[in-house]
């Protein structure tokens, strides 16, 4: 048997070293290709956190039909939260001042038990010193009263059908309420602002005409 020459041995050695080096270089490339696979769950986890954060920051419920408490004025002059002196100038001295029975009253504007109810021909305000809050407006006993905004005027001539043109959803959801010592009235509820809150307006109609507006908050 003929043995390989020295040159042949050197050539085989070079070839073996080349193959060995190539096999060693494949290992890093294989490790590199597995890195994106191992990081994919982390990417999904980050996305989930972002989604939860966005959901938590969602704005509160809002409505497109409302009568802004801050925009309305009695007869276009007096805000519903105003001075007692200004209320007297507009409506005169109250017919009566009544101390509330706090065992019977569950909701009131002032956070104290010092205020009194002031009545002006069935229109009512909460009065505490020099501050007066108008909480109920009676149009039947005082037809000169109006609740006015820059775009709306509510008074004793306001009809249910005319209100439906401005607040169709609210009128569609109207109900019937039995008012103590008065009788049944058609009731339309309106939000007091774009952002929904617990309190609302109650507009009471009798025979199709607006007779009273009340500030309402459930107990």
Expressed as residue numbers, the domain containing 93 is: 73-216
> Does residue 30 lie in a domain region?
no
Query: Would 99 be classed as within a structural domain?
Result: yes
Whether 61 is covered by a domain: the verdict is no
Residue 38 or residue 155, greater confidence: 155
Asked, for residue 26, whether it belongs to a domain, the answer is no
Distance (Å, whole) CA 208 – CA 205: 6
Report the alpha-carbon distance of residue 131 to residue 103 in Å, rounded: 23
- To the question of pTM greater than 0.75 for the whole model, the response is no
Q: Are the C-beta atoms of residues 195 and 62 closer than 8 Å to each other?
A: yes
User: Residue 46: inside a domain, yes or no?
Assistant: no
CB 91 within 8 A of CB 120: yes
Give a yes or no: residue 166 inside a domain: yes
**How far apart, in whole angstroms, are the C-alpha atoms of residue 89 and residue 181?**
30
Q: How many domains does the chain have?
A: 1
Sign (positive or negative) of CA dihedral 112, 116, 122, 124: negative
| Structural domain contains residue 55 | no
Q: Give the tens place of pLDDT for each residue, 107-142.
A: 677 777 789 999 999 999 999 999 999 999 999 999
E strands, 112-216, in order: 116-120, 123-128, 131-138, 147-148, 153-154, 175-179, 183-191, 200-206, 209-216
CA distance linking residue 74 with residue 19, whole number of Å: 96
Tens of pLDDT, residue by residue over 27-83, are 444 444 443 443 333 333 333 333 333 434 445 688 899 999 999 999 999 999 999
Residue 1 lies in a domain: no
């Amino acid at each position: 048997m003929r043995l390989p020459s020295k040159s042949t041995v050197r050539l085989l050695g070079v070839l073996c070293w080349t193959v060995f080096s190539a096999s060693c270089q494949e290992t890093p490339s294989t490790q590199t290709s597995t890195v994106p696979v191992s990081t994919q769950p982390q990417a999904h986890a980050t996305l989930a956190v972002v989604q939860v954060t966005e959901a938590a920051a969602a704005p509160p419920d809002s409505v497109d039909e409302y009568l802004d408490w801050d925009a309305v004025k009695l007869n276009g002059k007096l805000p519903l939260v105003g001075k007692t002196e200004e209320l007297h100038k507009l409506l005169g001295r109250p017919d009566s001042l009544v101390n509330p029975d706090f065992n019977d009253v569950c909701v009131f504007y002032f956070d104290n038990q010092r205020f009194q109810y002031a009545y002006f021909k069935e229109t009512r305000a909460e009065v505490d010193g020099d501050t007066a809050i108008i909480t109920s407006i009676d149009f039947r006993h005082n037809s000169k009263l109006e609740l006015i905004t820059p775009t709306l005027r509510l008074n004793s001539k306001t009809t249910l059908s005319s209100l439906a043109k401005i607040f169709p959803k609210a009128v569609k959801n109207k109900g019937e309420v039995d008012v103590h010592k008065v009788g049944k009235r058609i009731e339309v509820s309106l939000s007091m602002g774009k952002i929904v809150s617990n309190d609302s307006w109650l507009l009471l109609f009798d025979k199709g005409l607006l007779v009273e507006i009340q500030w309402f908050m459930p107990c």
